């Protein structure tokens, strides 16, 4: 049945239809949050990200799958990168002064009420290390001083009292342990932050990161570690006063130093004996330029270990089961950044020299230390612990060969000379 021409529709009816059309909204995208509400959301996420976080409780409950890690995040006042901007350092609790991840985060509005955390890596990692103590000094770092990891942006949406989200797709690059890309899932709560970072190879197989769930970082304080320590002293004093008896004077509280980095101990280069620090005799010494870090057996045991099956030296056809610490873990424990584009560029321009007793020397490229199955400092062989005092062996990733060292004494990272003409 053909519809009547518009000229035959009564004028009053046409007016009524037009009025109804004005009352029914057209289908389209959800309206954006009002500017003030969106700004409040940005500030809320920045507040939840700022502070000192610690995963020690989870690591103690499940040491096989998680490690004790500390995160310190501070706001950067008047940052040239925008506002709000946070500077973030992530390090093992056992070596807080040697972060393995350093980032700037710029928090900004996303679409449909979401909030984005854009990620920037400092080009001069050493220049910003530990600057959470003086965040105002970080304000001078602008876009020329950082590299944006654009595909690592984390998008967060509100779900009740929490913010949840993560990266998108396979675009966030990673070269650790043979990975091609990384993903990150984040949940922000008032008392903790859950972070699930994982690395995958080109086929989508996971090669690093937790498999059973996220790392759980409890809020130590909404300030820096130093502020948390200062706050702990009055609390300890109040407890001592409350528990003191009438005939016993309250003992003065002993301030707890939270996450203080171990002091560097100079190592005599002319002596063949193992140097010592407060934690005991050193299992190995890592040299970075003029500085030296003595890694004692107690710290070595706290590092991530790997299990491998290697060819047995001098016995063709036989294998041995070993447990040890990868060379990249030792470098990270000494403060060498091993994650991120800037770190990869520095390692690509470096060589690693491993020295043992006498004339024993093994040479590796910096990038070889990051490869899955790379050089391994062996701590256990066929189920038996080796004696660090005698010098632990270093096994090359390809089994027996000229780059094995029987008794490692030192590991040195050396920059390679620039090619001629550059």
Q: What is the pLDDT along the chain (422 residues), one digit of tens a residue?
A: 444 454 444 555 455 444 444 444 444 444 556 688 899 999 999 999 999 999 999 999 998 889 899 999 999 999 999 999 999 999 988 888 888 889 999 999 998 889 999 999 999 888 899 999 999 999 999 999 999 998 999 999 999 989 999 999 999 988 777 888 999 999 999 999 999 999 999 899 998 888 989 999 999 999 999 765 555 545 444 444 444 433 433 333 323 222 223 322 222 222 222 333 334 455 678 877 656 777 877 777 778 888 888 887 777 888 889 898 988 888 888 778 887 777 788 888 888 888 887 777 888 888 888 877 788 899 888 888 888 777 888 887 554 445 678 888 888 888 877 665 55
Kind of pairing between the strands at 115-122 and 162-166: unpaired
- pLDDT (0 to 100) of residue 289: 61
- pLDDT (0 to 100) of residue 331: 87
Domain locations along the chain:
35-225, 276-415
For domain 35-225, which CATH number applies: 3.30.565.10, 2.40.128.590, 3.30.360.10, 3.40.718.10? 2.40.128.590
- pLDDT (0 to 100) of residue 251: 35
Assign residue 383 a region: left if phi > 0, alpha if psi is -120 to 50, beta otherwise?
left
- pLDDT (0 to 100) of residue 258: 25
Compute the Cα dihedral for 385, 389, 395, 396 and give only its sign.
positive
Output the CA–CA distances (angstroms, integers) from residue 326 to 293, 305, 336, 397, in the order listed: 17, 7, 14, 10
Report the alpha-carbon distance of residue 88 to residue 104 in Å, rounded: 6
CATH code that applies to domain 276-415: 3.90.420.10
Q: What is the Cα Rg of the chain in Å?
A: 28
**Two domains, one topology: 35-225 and 276-415:** no
- pLDDT (0 to 100) of residue 262: 30
- pLDDT (0 to 100) of residue 136: 93
Q: Which residues in 38-166 belong to E strands, given as ranges?
A: 51-54, 69-75, 85-92, 101-109, 115-122, 146-148, 154-159, 162-166
Report the alpha-carbon distance of residue 190 to residue 416 in Å, rounded: 47
What would the two tokens of residue 122 be? Answer: 């400092």
- pLDDT (0 to 100) of residue 276: 35
Whether residue 84 is preceded by a cis peptide bond, meaning omega within 30 degrees of 0, is: yes
What would the two tokens of residue 232 be? Answer: 């702990």
- pLDDT (0 to 100) of residue 340: 75
Tokens 């070595």, residue?
Answer: 300
Report the alpha-carbon distance of residue 321 to residue 311 in Å, rounded: 9
Torsion of CA 136, 141, 143, 146, to 10 degrees: -120
């Amino acid at each position: 049945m053909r519809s009547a021409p518009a000229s035959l529709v009564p004028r009053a009816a046409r007016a009524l239809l037009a009025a109804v059309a004005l009352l029914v909204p057209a289908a389209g995208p959800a309206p954006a949050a009002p500017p003030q509400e969106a700004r409040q959301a940005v500030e809320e996420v920045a507040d939840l990200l700022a502070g000192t976080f610690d995963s020690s409780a989870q690591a103690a409950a499940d040491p096989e799958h998680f490690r004790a890690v500390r995160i310190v995040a501070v706001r950067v006042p008047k940052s040239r990168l925008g506002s709000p901007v946070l500077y973030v350092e992530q390090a093992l609790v056992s070596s807080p002064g040697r972060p393995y991840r350093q980032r700037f985060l710029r928090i900004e509005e996303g679409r449909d009420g979401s909030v984005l955390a854009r990620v920037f890596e400092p080009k001069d990692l050493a220049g910003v290390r530990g600057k959470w103590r003086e965040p105002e000094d970080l304000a001078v770092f602008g876009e020329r001083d950082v590299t944006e990891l654009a595909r690592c942006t984390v998008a967060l949406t509100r779900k009740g009292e929490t913010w949840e989200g993560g990266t998108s797709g396979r675009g966030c690059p990673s070269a650790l342990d043979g990975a091609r890309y990384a993903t990150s899932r984040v949940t922000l709560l008032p008392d903790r932050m859950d972070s699930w970072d994982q690395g995958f190879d080109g086929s989508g197989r996971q090669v690093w990161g937790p498999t059973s769930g996220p790392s759980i970082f409890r809020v130590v304080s909404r300030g820096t570690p130093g502020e948390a320590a200062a706050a702990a002293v009055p609390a300890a004093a109040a407890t001592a006063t409350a528990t003191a008896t009438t005939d016993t004077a309250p003992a003065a509280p002993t301030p707890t130093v939270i996450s203080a980095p171990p002091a560097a101990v100079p190592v005599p280069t002319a002596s063949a004996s193992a140097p010592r620090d407060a934690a005991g005799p050193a299992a190995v010494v890592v040299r970075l330029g003029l500085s030296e870090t003595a890694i004692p057996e107690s710290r070595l045991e706290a590092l991530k270990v790997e299990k491998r099956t290697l060819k047995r030296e001098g016995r063709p056809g036989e294998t041995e089961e070993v447990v040890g610490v990868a060379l990249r873990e030792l470098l990270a424990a000494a403060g060498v950044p091993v994650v991120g584009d800037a770190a990869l560029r520095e390692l690509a321009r470096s060589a690693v020299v491993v020295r043992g007793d006498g004339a024993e020397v093994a040479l590796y490229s910096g990038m070889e230390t990051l490869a899955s199955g790379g050089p391994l400092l062996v701590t256990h062989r066929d189920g038996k612990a080796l004696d660090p005092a005698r010098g632990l062996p270093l096994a090359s990733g390809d089994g027996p060969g000229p780059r094995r060292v029987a008794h490692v004494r030192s590991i040195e990272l050396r920059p390679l000379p620039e090619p001629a003409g550059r």
